[in-house]
Amino acid sequence: MQHYFMDQALTVGAEVSLPTAIQKHWLRVLRAKPGAQAEFVDDQQQVFIGELMDENQGTIKIVLQTDHDAELPIATTIACGLPKSGKAELMVQKATEMGVAEIIFLPTEWSVAQWKHKAGKKVERLQKIAHSAAEQSHRNLVPKVRYLDRFTDLLDVQVDQRVVAYEEAAKRGEVSELVRVVTKMQPGQRLLAVFGPEGGLSPTEVKWLQDHAFHVVGLGPRILRTESAPLYFLSAMSVLSELK
Amino acid sequence: MQHYFMDQALTVGAEVSLPTAIQKHWLRVLRAKPGAQAEFVDDQQQVFIGELMDENQGTIKIVLQTDHDAELPIATTIACGLPKSGKAELMVQKATEMGVAEIIFLPTEWSVAQWKHKAGKKVERLQKIAHSAAEQSHRNLVPKVRYLDRFTDLLDVQVDQRVVAYEEAAKRGEVSELVRVVTKMQPGQRLLAVFGPEGGLSPTEVKWLQDHAFHVVGLGPRILRTESAPLYFLSAMSVLSELK
């Protein structure tokens, strides 16, 4: 069943006009006919089943509210050093499938890429990728994509716990901190995880993060590429908080 | 430090000629000079440090044996329904980073792609991707890539436990079987996990797998794309067996 995000409140029984983008996809591309059903997520992250009434006017009737909840119990923000060209798209798509709440890109000491004046356009494009990945993976929300100008702006991200994935920690055999931090958290709390770009984070950056209450965590004994580490991390968040 | 696979036994003190491919990469591309060091994995998956002696003759001296072990304690084979064009490459690269032991591609009822006579060339190309990803992620072995002609050949894969990732199970809220199966396994044992192509596995295929001792497991509440499900699964194997 298709899954679409609506910018409004929905209630069972309501008749609603579909926004142009959804009409275009569901009615023009997929050629839905009256009686066809799809999932519609309202502005409160509630998921409803809507039935197409009139394909020319693009109106639906909300027939059912579901209890669909595909969000990680611990809302997880990932902050990634600017990766090389083309990687950000893959990261946003896959992190969205894996349940990320928010994706931040920011310059780090060893980033080769620079976004600067291109950041606005990049974020806009990545936000569209997040939107379509959130539809595809049946999320209750579209993760927000943001660009931060300065590494130190990380301190403005309001969360309950902070971690940094650091390859050198993994090399030293650090295998317990991630589990320890996550299993102590409660559903509804928020976590921020920082990842380096291709060259990694600098020791200065890691030291600074540690000085600001970030826990250094290892992600197993293999060296993961920049775009793979957040995916391992988000899978780990799911295993530790959603599987039993 | 670079990480290369050698097809021979190595011992500390031995002087060894490098194969052409390693000479080309380390000496020509990276311009290593005498005294430079790299990791060399021997045919027993042991990792040694070798020092370049003569850049023209391409000879190294093995100076040290390490205890580097980057392999999942439970050797994990993934078997994937033939994915759409271009996905297999990403799956092999990322699964190798995530620690897979063996990657099988095979036709399933709802696969759109067909490999047939192209299978030999495809596997050869994917094997090269696995090789370079194994170097990059500092693995102790290069995962083997294989093509099976028939779905039922899965029964010939010799393992200790078998699971199938099934979206419909996840939709019904199945969240405990993966943890249950994996935490009962011992280091050194082998596991086979089956994943559907874009359209998923057919109910007939899932029923057949269940009849042949495959446990049906869910991978959390989000719908994962074909290429993402094995990555979630391998991360889960790491979290459940390598983190504490």
In a domain, A162, yes or no: yes
φ/ψ of A145, rounded to 5, equals: -105, 130
Residue B70, in any domain of the structure = no
Distance from CA of A169 to the nearest CA of B (A): 13
Structural domain ending residue among the three candidates A45, A65, A85: A65
The 10s digit of each residue's pLDDT in B44-67 is 999 999 999 999 999 999 999 999
Among candidates B98, B225, B239 on the partner chain, residue whose Cβ is nearest the Cβ of A97:
B225
Kindly determine whether residue B97 and residue A225, on different chains, have CB atoms separated by under 8 Å: yes
Is residue B92 situated within a structural domain?
Answer: yes
Mean pLDDT of the region A200-214: 97
Q: Is the pLDDT of residue B173 over 90?
A: no
First to last CA, chain B: 27
To the nearest whole number, what is the mean pLDDT of chain A? Answer: 96
Residues of A in contact with B136 (CB under 8 A): 223, 225
pLDDT of residue A173: 85
Judge if B236 and B132 occupy the same domain: yes
**Backbone dihedral angles phi then psi of residue B168, each to the nearest 5 degrees:** -65, -30
**Nearest-neighbour CA in chain B from A89: distance (Å):** 14
Residue type, position B52, single letter: L
Where among A16, A33, A65 does a domain terminate?
Answer: A65
Query: With an 8 Å Cβ cutoff, are A98 and B175 in contact?
Result: no
What is the average pLDDT across B177-181? 96
Instruction: Give the closest of A99, A176, A238 to B244, CB-based.
Output: A176
B68 CA to chain A: closest CA distance, Å? 9
pLDDT tens, position by position, A21-35 = 999 999 999 999 999
Read off the pLDDT of residues B186-243 as tens digits, 9 standing for 90 and up: 999 999 999 999 999 999 999 999 999 999 999 999 999 999 999 999 999 999 999 9
The answer to whether A167 and A74 have CB atoms below 8 angstroms apart is no
Nearest to A221 among B136, B228, B242 (CB): B242
Interface touch B220/A238, C-beta < 8 Å = yes
Write down the pLDDT at residue A7: 95
**ipTM of model:** 0.96
pLDDT level of residue A70 (50, 70, 90 thresholds): very high
Number of compact structural domains in chain B: 2
Tell me: do B54 and B106 sit in the same domain. Answer: no
Interface size, chain A vs chain B, as Cβ–Cβ contacts under 8 Å: 107
For A198, the domain range is 75-241
> What count of Cα atoms within 13 Å lies in the side-chain half-sphere of residue A239?
27
Write the residue in B220, B221, B243 that is nearest to A220 by C-beta: B243
- Say yes or no: A59 and A92 in one domain: no
Please compute, for residue B35, the number of CA atoms within 13 A of its CA located in the half-sphere on the CB side: 1
Instruction: Please give the structure tokens belonging to residue A204.
Output: 């200065």
End residue of a domain, out of A11, A35, A65: A65
Residue B200: φ, ψ to 5°: 90, 175
Give residue B101's pLDDT: 98
Position B172 confidence tier, pLDDT thresholds 50, 70, 90: confident
CATH of the domain at A230: 3.40.1280.10
Contact (CB<8Å) B98/A228: yes
B220 and A232: CB-CB below 8 Å?
Answer: no
Q: Are residues A121 and A230 in the same domain?
A: yes
List the single residue in B with minimal CA-CA distance to A176: B244
Which pLDDT value is given to residue A122?
97
Contacting residues of B for A224, CB less than 8 Å apart:
97-98, 137
Residue A70 lies in a domain: no
Closest Cα in chain B to A230? B235
Contact between chains at B243 and A236 (C-beta distance less than 8 A): yes
Residue B44 and residue B106 in one domain: no
C-beta atoms of B98 and A69 within 8 A: no
Which residue from A94, A225, A236 is facing B239, i.e. has the nearest CB? A236
Average pLDDT of span A41-62: 97
Q: Is B100 among the domain residues?
A: yes
Same domain for A107 and A46: no
Mutation test of the interface with chain B: which of A238, A239, A244, choosing the one with the most B Cβ atoms within 10 A? A239
Beta bridge partners of B79: B104, B194
CB A103 within 8 Å of CB A145: yes
Q: What is the pLDDT of residues B81-122, one digit of tens each?
A: 999 989 999 999 999 999 999 999 999 999 999 999 999 999
Partner residue facing A221 (CB), from B69, B228, B240: B69
Taking the CB of residue B36, how many other CB atoms lie within 10 A of it? 17
C-beta atoms of A228 and B176 within 8 A: no
Question: How many Cβ atoms sit within 10 Å of the Cβ of residue B88?
Answer: 24
Q: What is the pLDDT at residue A90?
A: 97
Do residue B57 and residue B81 come from a single domain?
no
* Same-domain check for residues B60 and B139: no
Distance of CA A229 to the CA centre of its chain: 14
From B71, B73, B70, B78, select the one nearest B217 (Cα to Cα): B78
Between chains, do A97 and B224 touch, taking CB under 8 Å as contact?
yes
A233 neighbors A78 (Cβ within 8 angstroms): yes
Residue A159 has a pLDDT of 98
Residues A94 and A186 in one domain: yes
